[in-house]
Amino acid sequence: MAQIEAHITGTVWKIEVAVGDTVAEGDSVVILESMKMEMPVEAEDDGTVAKILVEEGQSVQEGDPLVVLE
Protein backbone atom coordinates (compact mmCIF):
# COMPACT_ATOMS: atom_id res chain seq x y z
CA MET A 1 0.00 0.00 0.00
CA ALA A 2 1.23 3.46 -0.87
CA GLN A 3 -0.26 6.84 0.00
CA ILE A 4 -0.27 9.77 -2.37
CA GLU A 5 0.07 12.97 -0.35
CA ALA A 6 -0.58 16.64 -1.02
CA HIS A 7 2.59 18.47 -2.01
CA ILE A 8 1.08 21.88 -1.26
CA THR A 9 -1.58 23.39 1.00
CA GLY A 10 -4.72 24.06 -0.98
CA THR A 11 -8.20 22.90 -1.94
CA VAL A 12 -9.08 19.67 -3.74
CA TRP A 13 -10.30 21.06 -7.06
CA LYS A 14 -10.85 17.78 -8.93
CA ILE A 15 -10.44 14.06 -8.23
CA GLU A 16 -9.34 12.38 -11.45
CA VAL A 17 -9.53 8.71 -10.37
CA ALA A 18 -12.06 6.32 -8.86
CA VAL A 19 -11.64 3.34 -6.55
CA GLY A 20 -10.54 0.39 -8.67
CA ASP A 21 -8.79 2.49 -11.33
CA THR A 22 -5.30 1.42 -12.35
CA VAL A 23 -2.73 4.23 -12.37
CA ALA A 24 0.83 4.40 -13.63
CA GLU A 25 3.70 6.40 -12.18
CA GLY A 26 3.25 10.02 -13.27
CA ASP A 27 -0.54 9.82 -13.78
CA SER A 28 -2.46 12.75 -12.29
CA VAL A 29 -4.80 11.54 -9.53
CA VAL A 30 -5.97 14.78 -7.89
CA ILE A 31 -5.78 18.44 -8.88
CA LEU A 32 -5.22 20.90 -6.05
CA GLU A 33 -5.98 24.61 -6.30
CA SER A 34 -3.76 27.03 -4.45
CA MET A 35 -3.57 30.79 -4.97
CA LYS A 36 -5.67 30.52 -8.18
CA MET A 37 -3.26 27.95 -9.67
CA GLU A 38 -4.18 24.35 -10.45
CA MET A 39 -1.48 21.84 -9.45
CA PRO A 40 -1.73 18.15 -10.40
CA VAL A 41 -0.77 15.55 -7.79
CA GLU A 42 0.80 12.58 -9.56
CA ALA A 43 1.14 8.93 -8.61
CA GLU A 44 4.70 8.07 -7.56
CA ASP A 45 4.19 4.35 -8.23
CA ASP A 46 2.04 2.09 -10.39
CA GLY A 47 -0.97 0.64 -8.59
CA THR A 48 -4.71 0.33 -8.18
CA VAL A 49 -6.72 2.97 -6.33
CA ALA A 50 -7.84 1.36 -3.04
CA LYS A 51 -9.24 4.43 -1.24
CA ILE A 52 -9.89 8.09 -1.91
CA LEU A 53 -9.46 9.97 1.35
CA VAL A 54 -10.64 13.45 0.26
CA GLU A 55 -13.62 15.11 -1.43
CA GLU A 56 -13.74 17.87 -4.01
CA GLY A 57 -13.82 21.24 -2.25
CA GLN A 58 -11.99 19.94 0.83
CA SER A 59 -9.05 21.94 2.19
CA VAL A 60 -5.80 19.99 2.64
CA GLN A 61 -2.43 20.72 4.17
CA GLU A 62 0.94 19.81 2.70
CA GLY A 63 1.60 16.15 3.54
CA ASP A 64 -2.06 15.16 4.00
CA PRO A 65 -2.88 11.75 2.43
CA LEU A 66 -5.19 12.01 -0.58
CA VAL A 67 -5.32 8.58 -2.23
CA VAL A 68 -4.21 5.08 -1.20
CA LEU A 69 -2.82 2.71 -3.86
CA GLU A 70 -2.39 -1.04 -3.53
Q: What whole-number distance in Å separates Cα of residue 17 and Cα of residue 9?
A: 20
pLDDT of amino acid 57: 97
- CB contact set of 26 (below 8 Å; sequence gap of 6+): 42, 43
Write out pLDDT tens, residues 9-65: 999 999 999 999 999 999 999 999 999 999 999 999 999 999 999 999 999 999 999
**Domains of the chain listed by start with CATH number:** 2-69 (2.40.50.100)
Separation of alpha carbons 31 and 14, rounded Å: 5
Q: In this structure, are residues 17 and 70 in contact, taking their beta carbons and an 8 Å threshold?
A: no
Q: How many CB atoms lie within 10 A of CB 7?
A: 15
Model confidence at 67: pLDDT above 90: yes
